[in-house]
Copies of this chain bind each other. A is one copy, B any other.
Amino acid sequence: MTTLKELAKLLNISVSTVSKALNDSHEISENTKKRVYELAEKLNYKPNRIAQQLKTNKTKTIGVILPTVTNPFFAEVLHGIETAATSSDYDIIVCLSNESLGKELRSLELLSNGSVDGFIMAVARESQVEEESGHIKSVIDNKIPVLMFDRVVNEIICDKVIVDDFQSVYEATEYLIKKEKRKNILLVSNIEELSVGKLRTKGYRKALEEANLQPNILKLDNVEDVEDKIYEYLKDNGKTDAIISIDHITGVIAINMAKKLGKSIPRDLSVIGFGYEHTHLLSSPKISIIHQKAFEIGEMSVTLLIDNLNTENHTLQTIVVPSELKFSESTI
């Protein structure tokens, strides 16, 4: 790679002159600038990023720690993060915790050595279950800003971008009760142990309580037997007239199982699930979805973190990104 030194030597001027010329300093004559530009162009000179980082003590890099990226929600958030970061001239280093506390901890530690200016993260499942967050606190204590999104830790004070988990499910449930006159609404959940899962279930319970209806919750822990479990439940509980799935997959499966049992959707059964960009394409009849604005969550996270990095008196805040209830044509 071409360096300033090489350019300087070839042009018979000093390194600092070259540096200033390339930074378009007013100190340098137009003539010299021109000579420098041309040679730099010719030799395809690019300032060494590492050296700049060392000098300025800024990496312009964000560490992004995600539980997984095969879940479309996190994939879409990553998309938003990458887009916003790029447009602010930041790079992102991505680590996947695979829902493991240990991996999350190691990633944070490894990148806390000057590799990144700050972190954007969603807490690993294990960290939430174990209620362990000392590793995150320690990063913040070391003056490296952290932003948490979606799955957050209440005890930790930092910027947060969250979804209206409680509210969206509350409203969806209320809609089923009031508009569609449903009385036996089943909640299907495979994320009960996550902060977001708890909030969503809470929203469901609240709406039912207000209508004096009984909650029915089907907890699933193993993705592989979801089909059977739902099928059995629907067979044994013929009165079920609506299903709310609080994840992005069991809703589609519920529709398939209901069809298998000869139920007409949405006449006999309404189904609302969480979903993202293409979820609706995969079910027929179309599932109604609570659409989390994952891309926007990613974008907002970057904006907020960068503000924290660049603003002297940044005030920590929690932003709630409202979800959008998207009714399928057939349900409405």
Contact = CB atoms under 8 A, between A and B. Distances in A.
Oligomer: number of copies: 2
Contacts of A86: 95, 103, 107
A260 interface: yes
A72 B76 CA distance: 11
B70 A76 contact: yes
Interface stretch (A6-14, A15-23, A49-57, A198-206): A49-57
A94 B92 contact: yes
Query: Which residue among A223, A283, A284 has the maximum number of chain B CB atoms within 10 Å of its CB?
Result: A284
A111 to B, nearest CB: 8
Interface in A245-281: 249, 252-253, 256-257, 259-260, 276-278, 281
Contact of A142 (B44, B256, B257): B44
A268 to B, nearest CB: 17
A226 B51 CA distance: 51
A249 B282 contact: yes
Contacts of A252: 282
Contacts of A59: 50
Interface stretch (A77-85, A122-130, A172-180, A308-316): A77-85
Interface stretch (A34-42, A112-120, A151-159): A112-120
A232 interface: no
Size band of the interface chain A makes with B: 35 or more
A49 B111 CA distance: 9
Contacts of A64: 94
A1 to B, nearest CB: 6
Interface of A: 1, 44, 46-51, 53-54, 59, 61, 64, 68-70, 72, 75-76, 78-79, 82-83, 86, 91-96, 98, 103, 107, 109-115, 142, 223-224, 226-227, 249, 252-253, 256-257, 259-260, 276-278, 281-284
A-B residue pairs, 9 tightest by C-beta: A256-B284, A46-B113, A48-B114, A94-B94, A49-B113, A82-B96, A50-B53, A49-B115, A70-B75
